[in-house]
Structure 1
Amino acid sequence: MKYFWVILVIGLLLVVGCGNKASTGNINTAAVITSDSTLDTPTDSIKEFNVVAKQWEFIPDTISVKKGDTVKLNLKSVDVVHGFKINEFNIDEKLNPGEEVTVTFVADKTGVFTFFCNVPCGEGHKEMKGTLIVN
């Protein structure tokens, strides 16, 4: 009975080991990546930020993400009508007081980008800016 189990195990190992068709010696060179290769792939990461607009600032005023990140911004004005615009990502939203607007986009380019209020909201309107950093 002892030999039966040994022979059974050896037989299973042979069947499993020899049954793999991928070991034909052929290498699919299209799937080989060398250390010299650079890949520019998305990180498949979602970064979510709550951004408050109030006279005359955005909180937070700096947002940092990685290239390829999906960015979700929950925008809310707490006092008067404001705007939120990032030219490079075609974002242009009107923010009514007390209402939340959600914007989702892919940070597909690296750089430092300015977001700003594009709705006249008072004497400090021109200084109402923030920075989006995409590394």
Structure 2
Amino acid sequence: MRTSPNRLIATVFGSVYVLVGLLGFAVTGSVGFIATEGGLLLGIFEVNPLHNVAHLLIGAALLIAGLSNAMAAKATNTTIGSVYLLLGIVGFFIASTSLNILALNTADHFLHLASAIVLLGVGLTADKTVRNHATV
């Protein structure tokens, strides 16, 4: 299944999130690891070192799944999409509190929600013949 939409989206999103994670360290040199306020990536997205590490791990998971097979990509897209949906919603409520250990801002919330829509949309609708679990 070389033309799998799930593999394509996982690979593209994985590459972008790894790049974003790496670039984030360029703007967080003097920011505490779990600071509630961070540096601005691209002048709009707030990040701290923990947020950068999260981007690297999420990007790596997506990239590995995308380069693996359609079943892995579908499961990973759906899982990470679900997590981003939750983070996008919860982020609005924790942004101004000490629970904001990822230094999230409004732009981050909307980007996480947009990522969730794409990842969940592809994960739940594409590659219908691919099973999400092994049969016994």
TM-score (norm 1): 0.28
More strand by share: 1
Which one has the largest radius of gyration? 1
| Greater RCO, CA 8 A, separation 6+ | 2
TM-score (norm 2): 0.28
